[in-house]
Every structure is written in structure tokens, then in C-alpha cells.
A = this chain, B = another copy of it.
Amino acid sequence: MDDQSPAMGLVHLLRAVTVEFDTLGAEFAARHGLHPTDVRALIQLLDAARAGTRATPGWLGARLRLNSAGTTALVDRLERLGLVRRSRDTADRRRILLEVEEKAMDLGWTFFGSVIGEVVAAAEGFEEHELETVRRFLAAVLESTARARSV
């Protein structure tokens, strides 16, 4: 019924890894009194901070597929938890900029710390050039899906 395509195995594996990471994130969220959406938001905000992208509620809502009301509630939650700070954009005063607090960085680091352990463990027994192949493949998958969604 399946396995016609040589990609099937990869699809199943990627999906399975996704499910595992997802559950890991949900457990991390529950342990810290967060909701899954909060974790997703944190990931996006930390990525944006690392990439130097200026994050606004509208941008965040679009990334998470939330409507404006839901986005406001989300930012309220994150601000109440001391994870982000709202500040007016001085250039375009209609905008609000979301700045991640130190606490958010620490939290993100805690989360990834546990994940890094897993990946490092998995990476043992692989040559560096093999890991490089994996990196190239994952980057290609990422680009494909991003293009397909055409955000």
C-alpha cells in the first residue's frame, strides 16, 4: 500500500521525528506552566532575534496562524510571564516591537539543551562528512516546504 516511492521511508522518519520533537516540546511546556503555542511563539521569537528580524504581533500571528485577537492574548501571556516586552517602533509608530527578555533566552536554552543531548547522542557513530550530508538534506527539505507554502 505504501513504499512505492523511495522517499516514503524518509517521509515516515521525518514525520516520526516531528511527532517526537512535538511531544518533547509539549512536555517542556507543561513542566514550565506554558502552552504549546507559547513554546512555538518563543521559538519563532528567538529565531527572529538571532536572525535580526524585527518581530511585531502581526508578524508573530502570521507565523503561528493566529488571528489578531489570539495573537494579542498570546503576547499578553508572554509579557505577563516576563518573557517578552512590548515597545513602540519609533520609525512607524503604528507598530509594536516584541523584544525577548533574558528569561526567554534562558528558557529556550533549557529546552534546547535537552534536545541537543539527544542529537549529539544520535550523531555518534557518524562521520563528519555524513553529518554534513544530513545537514544538506534537511536544508533542502526546509527550502522545499518553505517554497511550497510560499509564505
A15 → chain B closest CB, angstroms: 7
> At the interface, yes or no: A19 with Cβ under 8 Å from chain B?
yes
- Chain multiplicity (copies): 2
Query: Do B120 and A7 have beta carbons less than 8 Å apart?
Result: yes
Option from B13, B26, B128 in Cβ contact (under 8 Å) with A135: B13
Number of interface residues of A (CB under 8 A): 60
Option from B9, B30, B119 in Cβ contact (under 8 Å) with A14: B119
Name the interface residues of A12-40: CB closer than 8 Å to any CB of B. 13-24, 26-27, 30, 40
Query: Do B65 and A43 have beta carbons less than 8 Å apart?
Result: no
Residue of B nearest to A105 (CB): B1
A61 → chain B closest CB, angstroms: 13
Query: Do B13 and A123 have beta carbons less than 8 Å apart?
Result: no
Query: Do B65 and A7 have beta carbons less than 8 Å apart?
Result: no
Q: Which residues of B contact A2 (CB under 8 A)?
A: 50
> At the interface, yes or no: A8 with Cβ under 8 Å from chain B?
yes
Option from B14, B119, B130 in Cβ contact (under 8 Å) with A133: B130
Once the chains are docked, how many angstroms separate the CA of A14 from the CA of B149?
18
Instruction: Please name 5 further chain A to chain B contacts, defined as beta carbons within 8 Å, in addition to the given A7-B119, A15-B43, A18-B21, sorted by A numbering.
Output: A10-B123, A10-B135, A22-B22, A130-B137, A134-B134
